[in-house]
Amino acid sequence: MENVKVYNEEMLKNLNLRDIAIGKKQGPITGYPSMDRLWLKYFSEDAIKSNFEPKSMYQLMRDCVSQKPDDVTMEYFGIPFTNKDRLNLIDDTAKALKQLGVEKGDIVMMSLPNIPEVSHLMYALNKIGAVIHSVSPLKTPKLIKEDINDSKAKYIFAIDQLYPAIAAIENETCLEKIITVSAFSSIPDVVRKMKNIEVKSDNIPYGDKYMDWLDFLAEGKKYKGDIEEVFDENSVATIVHTGGSTGIPKGVVATNEQYNALIYQHLYSEMGFEDGMSVLGIVPSFHALGLNNLFHLASCLNLKLDLVPKFTTEEIPKLVLEKKPNILLVGPVQVKAMLDSDLLKNVDLSFVKIICSGGEALGEKLQKKCQNFLEERGSSAKVWIGYGATETSAGTTCMRDNCFKYGSIGAPYLNNVIGVFDPDNQDENIELGYGEIGEIRVKGPTVVNGYFGSKKDETDLVIKEHDGDKWYHSGDLGYFDEDGLLYVTGRMKRIITRRENRIYPSYIEKIISIHPAIKECAVVGVSDEVERLVPVANIVLNEGYDESSYNDIMAFADDAIKEHVGEYAVPAGYNFIEQLPLTLYGKLDFKKLEQLGFMGKTKEEAKQRILK
């Protein structure tokens, strides 16, 4: 009952603040975003009054889809799955898990691409109260071993192509059973036979320790007990790893309530989602963004998830034409692939209704370019920018039609509270006003419990208690405008202090990228013998430009940065590279850029660098 009381008090406070924000009531504006919550004007009164009923992820999904059993909400290689099909497959999987020996609280690893078994397994594990530990199948054997031993997992469900990696480390782990899954396990028997598709590999020693997915389901038919739905408030539901763009990825622990809170906030955010809309399923399930904002969100909103197990960035335009998705959840890399593709030059894209970019900063320049690209091809979709972190269940803010402004990352979700605080004081929340740049911090129902296993002690570094509330310290820098919209300007870890002056790399990147030759730009701090840290610009050129443009670009950048920032912010070196490096999770790899350094101390020595 205590949770209900707290919720009611917060609801009444939000209703009052909304009335002030829309001018319905007279009241003081404090000048501090987290106190004023001006973003509440973008929500209806009914949305603010909505209650979030405690449920497991499975229960929320089941309750959302059970009234529409015949709706097709998943497609894979042209094979449709109705809600009824999916609920039955989840039950079959739950029985097989129980037959295998999985119990409430067990941590079960999942290392799969985007195939139907991800959904079946995720909800079945959740239904019986086990914990989903989703890891990337792209990891090295050493990292997979560390993840297994960190979670003390006895069971792993892995794509069959991962067998060599698992075989190399299985005897150094606590694994008791390894279930390999083929990308074709969900293809009907008759189709597999017609096309001579095998789901078992001759290289895998099936037996006591190894089992394939179809045999796993067959074993489940032996289970004669009832499947009890398990839901304990505040119990762990998922473990998903951070992106690792500025350090080593960490396992993040989240509860059912934290993941569901994001879904509820989508349901009441008037984002334009409609029953039956199709979404291109390319965000990997080993991302929190993929597990929650793709698999769980699509299921609960009755969207049709068109799964793509494997693709390259260059194939994105072909997939868009082939699948004709109404909703695209993409990152800057996929956006650029669409814009650069000859395939999409003269095609009708009116089927695209919603496009949302997250994971990495899209940038105002690229956002506008993408918006024009869609409009020219008949799409009415706005290019929305979303912002979040694994530590906030992959959701914090998002644009919508009523809070769309270029350069911003939209408004906070309904029950999230965000403020911008003094970055030099991590022990207190000293809030800054509108237009002032500081660290973005978040409190609310999507903020997770913390890190897992060997990284558990690092939780207190990023999730801190202030005045009785749990705040996530994002490490991102940004500011609020007086419309209640948030802007991200960079990372605290990327701040470069030079001659006692602060340099914000994201702002320098924005200035340099004005030059028409620049396709991408990333500025990092590099250690220097004379100065402790100096800025270095890493530049990828647009087609049609080559080394003859180097001096012009550097001269332009020097002058523009001197004019808008100061001479201290002028890069000590420029690297012209073929592409910016990405982590396994598809985020910009700042560590590699820092290691790249630069060619010399002067710009005259700068020359093309090919990143290995």
pLDDT digits (tens, 9 = 90+) for 339-395: 999 999 889 999 999 999 876 677 788 899 999 999 999 999 989 998 999 999 988
Q: Which helix (H) or strand (E) holds 83?
A: helix 83-100
Distance, in Å, from the CA atom of 109 to the CA atom of 149, rounded to the nearest integer, reads 11
Q: Do 309 and 183 touch, CB atoms closer than 8 A?
A: yes
pLDDT at 573: 87
Topology at the third CATH level for domain 2-54+243-490: Rossmann fold (3.40.50)
Return left, alpha or beta for 528; rule: phi > 0 is left, psi -120 to 50 is alpha, else beta: beta
Reported as a single tens digit per residue, the pLDDT across 32-75 is 999 999 999 999 999 999 888 899 999 999 999 999 999 999 99
Report whether CATH 3.30.300.30 matches the domain 495-605: yes
pLDDT at 530: 65
Tokens for 446, please give them. 């999507």
pLDDT at 498: 80
pLDDT at 209: 95
Taking alpha carbons only, the member of 460, 423, 454 closest to residue 441 is 423
Distance, in Å, from the CA atom of 30 to the CA atom of 483, rounded to the nearest integer, reads 14
Distance, in Å, from the CA atom of 321 to the CA atom of 374, rounded to the nearest integer, reads 13
Q: Could you give the residue range(s) of every CATH 3.40.50.12780 domain in the chain?
A: 2-54+243-490
Q: Tokens 């997915």, residue? A: 213
Q: Could you give the residue range(s) of every CATH 3.40.50.980 domain in the chain?
A: 82-232
Report whether CATH 2.40.50.140 matches the domain 82-232: no
Identify the three-state secondary structure at position 519.
strand
Q: Could you give the residue range(s) of every CATH 3.30.300.30 domain in the chain?
A: 495-605
**pTM of the full predicted structure?**
0.83
Q: Which residues, 6 or more positions from 31, have their beta carbon under 8 angstroms from its beta carbon?
A: 433, 434
Residues of the chain with pLDDT under 70: 1-7, 243-248, 359-360, 499-500, 529-532, 584-586, 599-612
DSSP 298-360: HHHTT-EEEE-S---GGGHHHHHHHH--SEEEE-HHHHHHHHT-STTTT---TT--EEEE-SS
Distance, in Å, from the CA atom of 313 to the CA atom of 48, rounded to the nearest integer, reads 39
pLDDT at 584: 62
Identify the three-state secondary structure at position 368.
helix
Return left, alpha or beta for 410; rule: phi > 0 is left, psi -120 to 50 is alpha, else beta: left
